[in-house]
Amino acid sequence: MTNKTGFFKRLKALDPLQKQLFATALCQRMYPNYQLFSEVCEFGDAKVLATALELAWQSLYDRKLKFNIDVHLERLDAITPEPTDFIVYGAYPAMDAAVAVTALLSAIQGKQEDDMINISKLSSATVANYIEATLDTELTGDALDDMVFAHEVMQEERELQASLLDIIEQNAKVSADLVKELRREIISSGVSNIGISAE
């Protein structure tokens, strides 16, 4: 999400592979939310998400890569937390991360480009919910929305999505080098969309 005119219009104008790269990058950025929750609450298995993400990245440049998406979707379903079963807030961003990777694989399988775009909205929603949960305020409605959108963490989210879109737009061809470089940058930053570091 960004103030730049027509963000989603620009996102929709990307070709399918570019959309997949954008969505995969956002899913990778959400991964530490699940990883930390899994470690702290001893729930699920972060390796299931990591493996699914690895395959999603690889499939961007290895067009011969074949993997059984249904098997990975089943594994993801089994390790997706139900937040009402936990007393910690971290179950919510962890669930969002698992849902995002599930949506990514489903979109790859069904060639559903809109689902790729929805991952952008899901990542921003995770950030908005996190801000609301941490704000000490009685505000509601538009006043709360304004405060959320002005928040530093939301500004970072919007800037990251905007810069990611700029980079992908500038590279009409999704090359192995581009994919590997983006993946390396996101993993080496080590911080999720809500500032979680699993290290």
Per-domain boundaries in the chain: 8-182
The alpha carbon of residue 23 and the mean position of all alpha carbons in its chain are separated, in whole angstroms, by 7
Residue located via tokens 């879109």: 165
> pTM (2 decimals)?
0.94
Q: What angle do CA 144, 149, 151 make, to 5 degrees?
A: 95
Residue 179 pLDDT: 97
Is the pLDDT assigned to residue 1 strictly greater than 50? no
Residue 2 pLDDT: 43
Between 133 and 198, the more confident residue is 133
Cβ neighbourhood burial of 196 (10 Å; 0-12, 13-18, 19+): buried
Per-residue pLDDT, averaged over 186-197, amounts to 94
Amino acid letter, residue 71: V
pLDDT tens profile 46-102: 999 999 999 999 999 998 888 999 999 999 999 999 999 999 999 999 999 999 999
Per-residue pLDDT, averaged over 125-132, amounts to 96
CATH architecture of residue range(s) 8-182: Up-down Bundle (1.20)
